Amino acid sequence: MAEPEIALAFGLLIAVGEVLRRGPVRTAPPGRGSGERASAPLGAAGALAYALLGAAGGRPTTHGVAQTVAVVAAACLAGLVPRVAGGRGAAADDLVRRVLTVGFAAACFQPLYNSGTLTGWLADGPAYPLFMVTVLGLTALCDAVLAATLTRARTGWPYGPLLRDELRSLLGIGSAICATGVVISLGTAVAGLWALPVFCLPLLLTQFAFRRYAAVRATYRQTIASLARATEIAGYTRPGHARRVARLSRAVGRELGLGAADLDVLEYAALMHDIGQLSLLDPVPAGATAPLAPAEQRRIALLGGAVVRQTGVPEAVAVIVERQADPFRDQPVTARIVRTVNAYDDLVGESAGPGGPARALERLRRATAREYEPRVVEALARVLARGGRTA
């Protein structure tokens, strides 16, 4: 192994980053949609810095692609040991993706540097760090493609929206990881291994801030889910109706190609779509609004929108709740989804027996000419065929 002390220092940094990772950061609740993203920015930045390391303390390094991949893989595995021992589990696909992307970066940089070609072309000046940034940009694209491919293989969701969400995430924590990787590599080239703790501290603070942000998001959604249960506690809707509609709406939205931000708004609206029933003097039988007259449906929807606006959720959520009873041709696609899935769950509740879901879906298909968009109904059918509904 070339420069074992350097390999050990970077391996320790990557392992510590893995130990400190928050774990899976869910952009959606389990089973509801947009996937999971593992948050280990410190380890990722250290791995990329080692892949792009050309010198340490003014002395050229000689480690190549194979050593880079070996050190990163060993460090990631070592960092996972405390997580596995603590019963938190380990994501094998995330580990493989990390090693592949780091190997890609090393393959783009190390052969050119070790052969002297890179320094001969670029010498000193701004061109050298610009080349490193370019390599990391290509590496980030490679990582996005791999992440979307793995999620597609695991869930069967449409590939286009998955890749779009991954590319959007590069503008946030992804850009910070790439920038820190370049700074660590350049700093190590001048100051030696002392650059590692100095330049990693800002990213470590960012990681803890990201952890708090994720916790706030989780609490925010739990608050909305608790508010949505008010209709069940008051006896206006069947137990679990709001959660079923939210889960299935998110799956249908994913099937139709909605992005992560739209899916979050869709889920919040689906959770609170019946909140307007709290303003009724007499509950609707079983909470089923689909059989009601269109005027009564719109009145309940408008009441719900007024309540939702008082909760502080995004304006788009209130708009969906208000427009779920409009003619489907005048609705945004998110409101069409909530309208269709709500009707499906209401119809399933009316149809006892094992054939209830099939009969409910057939009734929706017969009403597509006037009440429900055919594209949404067929997306619902595909989700149900894959087991998208749970009792």
389 pLDDT exceeds 50? no
Q: What is the pLDDT of residue 108?
A: 93
267 pLDDT exceeds 70? yes
Q: What is the pLDDT of residues 85-141, one digit of tens each?
A: 777 666 678 888 889 999 999 999 999 988 888 877 776 667 888 888 899 999 999
The answer as to CATH 3.40.50.170 being correct for domain 229-385 is no
Give dist(CA 255, CA 251) in Å, integer. Answer: 6
**What is the reported pTM?**
0.72
Band (34; pLDDT cuts 50, 70, 90): very low
Residue range 349-359: mean pLDDT, rounded: 74
Q: Domain segments of the chain: what residues?
A: 4-214, 229-385
321 pLDDT exceeds 50? yes
Band (11; pLDDT cuts 50, 70, 90): very high
Sign of the alpha-carbon dihedral angle for 245, 247, 248, 253: positive
Give the up-direction half-sphere exposure of residue 79: CA atoms within 13 A in the CB hemisphere. Answer: 28
Residue range 140-155: mean pLDDT, rounded: 89
Judge contact between 139 and 174, C-beta under 8 A: no
How, if at all, do strands 36-38 and 24-26 pair?
antiparallel
